[in-house]
Amino acid sequence: MVSVAFVGNNMVFTLDDATTVTLTDAKIDLKGDTGLTGAKITSAAFSGNNLVFTLDDASTVTVTNAKLDLKGDTGTTGPIGLIWEDAYSGATTYAVNDAVSYLGSSYINILASTG
């Protein structure tokens, strides 16, 4: 997962392959210990691998290692997809399966390297 954001009452996760997963009405349905009378979620963001919810009372709730533990249909056994890195830069370190554009063409990195 790359990011998480609220769109209305829905929580939208953007995955490495630019697809999204939506938790419909997450802002309404995710409740703290006090249920309906408790603080409500106002935002969510990744901090490292943790998912941090900020509540309307300024407190936070953290889901530790959410980025690692929340998996899509292929989970940990699925193939590694391409990671789109935008335009090529000779100063950037690329991992295997990083993809870039350069002079109108697309390239896929097959060996971890810089430049």
- Predicted pLDDT at 91: 92
Tell me the β-bridge partners of 34: none
- The pLDDT tens digits for 67-84 are 766 655 554 555 567 788
d(CA 73, CA 21): 11
**Rounded mean pLDDT of 29-44?**
66
Sign of CA dihedral 24, 27, 30, 35: negative
Same domain, 51 and 89: no
Query: pLDDT-based confidence at 5, cuts 50/70/90?
Result: confident
Res 37: pLDDT: 62
What is the residue range of 58's domain? 3-69
- Phi/psi at 91 (5° precision): -90, -5
User: How far apart, in Å, do the first and last CA atoms of the chain sit?
Assistant: 25
Specify the 3-state DSSP secondary structure of 95: coil
Distance CA 40, CA 101 (A): 42
Q: Is residue 42 part of a domain?
A: yes
Question: If you average pLDDT over each of 27-31, 74-78, 87-91, which comes out highest?
Answer: 87-91
Residue 29 included in any domain? yes
Counting the structural domains of the chain, the total is 2
pLDDT at residue 100 tops 80: yes
Q: Looking at residue 77, what is its pLDDT? A: 52
- Whether residue 7 is found in the same domain as residue 62: yes
